[in-house]
Amino acid sequence: MTATPEICDILVLGGGGREHALCWKLRQSPRTGRLVCAPGNAGIAAVAECVDLAIADPAAVAAYAAEQGFGLVVVGPEGPLVAGVVDALRAAGIAVFGPTAAAAQLEGSKGFTKDLCRKAGIPTAGYRRFASGADAHHYVAVHPLPVVIKADGLAAGKGVTVAESNEEGLAALADIPGAVVVEECLSGPEASLFVITDGTTVQVWPSAQDYKRAFDDDSGPNTGGMGVISPAPRLTEALLQRALAEIVMPTLAAMAAAGTPYTGVLYAGLMLTEQGPKLIEYNCRFGDPEAQALLMRLESDLTELLLACAQGRLAEITPRWSGESAVTIVYAAMGYPRTAITGTVIDGIDDAEALGVTVFHAGTARAASGKLVAAGGRVLALSALGHDIGEARSLAYAAIRKIRWHGGFYRRDIGKA
Ligand code: AMP
Ligand code: GLY
């Protein structure tokens, strides 16, 4: 048995709003010693040391973590996970929160996940896999509508088209360079379910509902997420238990049986259909901006929790969650999700926070003048708590109006009843 260190130095990989929320919460722990984030951003710099590191290069990450003596590495984005950063860190004897490359296939290959679901009888949309867009051409040309076209591999939230015509489906196919999955179209409200696991113990986290389209009333292009509410109002306790029993637990059992047990956070995107919850997709990491809402509700020590999970001791910890609801609004740069306009000056964050919200930075930087400027597509995420979604929503919108920024836009309907 290795003794648990009192103080733990932590390396966080990533530099978005999700990683700001992780660093913000890790910093609150008396167990956290040195906190380093690669690459971080201007907001993260207030709570952690930001460094340059090739975060998708497993050997580089493991060498840096070993040399610096980190007691825990927390991986934010999917890229480093699919590339095998967790495998390299474990081989170097460093505790890490996240799945191995083999387990991260649940996000890294949609075809892998669909085949696993079929084998294990997990409810999901019917599908066929093709090695290339060209191979799928005839199938898509005659498929009943709407038809769903997906890139098999990682596509940064841009790999899915729900096509209303066969021509639109064929156009989507032409844009996908590699393997393709073609799916039946499901309908119903969506909800996201999160569990963390050390490979043995499974801990259910609060649910969330995200807003994927750029503009109000779910119009405009798909984005990485423009806002979140937690808990997801449509995911009742009964549906949640059903999704766990029919989808998440059989997936974890199948991964363990294949000799590739899943560890870290598993994020299940669900469609609540008339036949019950069905899996849309898995993510092998926290959502962004879902983490900015969920972590607001965590009352326990995140360092203890993630360290216990990374060391296979998750059974020792029962986290406390606030009974309050959370609403997170993303403030994005004009032009997002296409070409975001960057370099514009942002003011008023202190005024927003004075109302009691937390402002997480996603794409921000410090200009030479010292001013805070937009440096990405999604720039800020404001998170508020309230007795219910309505109260949290009022607070979040009151706060976002305090921010003085001419280069951004946000949805007005996050959490609207
Ligand atoms: P993304 O986050 O880019 O993977 O977007 C996935 C979104 O596409 C989901 O949130 C759904 O709204 C939609 N989607 C994916 N698969 C299906 C499906 N089989 N039927 C209907 N909608 C789907
Ligand atoms: N907000 C969606 C995601 O993180 O995948």
Q: What is the pLDDT of residues 238-251, one digit of tens each?
A: 999 999 999 999 99
Q: Which of 106, 226, 283, 336 to mutate to test the pocket of ligand 2 (most atoms within 8 A of CB)?
A: 283
- Kindly state if the Cβ of 251 falls inside 6 Å of ligand 2: no
User: 21 lies in a domain?
Assistant: yes
Residue 155: the pLDDT is 79
Residues 193 and 309 in one domain: yes
Please give the structure tokens belonging to residue 311. Answer: 């060391």
What percentage of residues in the chain have a pLDDT greater than 90?
A: 93
Please give the structure tokens belonging to residue 92. Answer: 């170097």
pLDDT per residue over 75-85, tens digit each?
999 999 999 99
Residue 326: the pLDDT is 98
Ligand 1 binding pocket (C-beta < 6 A) is 125, 148, 157, 160, 162, 183, 185-186, 190, 212, 222, 269, 280-281
d(CA 196, CA 294): 13
User: 103 lies in a domain?
Assistant: no
Supply the DSSP symbol for 207.
Answer: P
Residue 75: the pLDDT is 98
CATH number, domain with residue 142: 3.30.1490.20
Domain boundary among 316, 344, 365: 316
Maximum separation of any 2 CA atoms in the chain, in Å = 62
Q: Which of 168, 184, 271 to mutate to test the pocket of ligand 1 (most atoms within 8 A of CB)?
A: 271
Domain boundary among 168, 184, 200: 184
d(CA 212, CA 413): 12
Domain count, the chain: 4
Residue 387 lies in domain: 325-409
User: 110 lies in a domain?
Assistant: no
369-371-372-375 Cα dihedral, nearest 10 degrees: -30
d(CA 226, CA 237): 26
Residues 220 and 277 in one domain: yes
Which of 127, 280, 265, 133 is CA-nearest to residue 206?
265
- How far is C-alpha 349 from the geometric centre of its chain's CA atoms? 24
Instruction: Determine the distance separating the centroid of ligand 2 and the alpha carbon of 156, expressed in angstroms.
Output: 9
What's the helix, strand, coil split of the chain in %, to 5? 30, 30, 40
Residues 139 and 225 in one domain: no
Q: Report H helices in 184-325.
A: 237-243, 249-257, 290-297, 302-310
The segments of the chain whose pLDDT lies below 50 read none
Ligand that comes closest to the CA of residue 208: 2
Residue 16: the pLDDT is 97
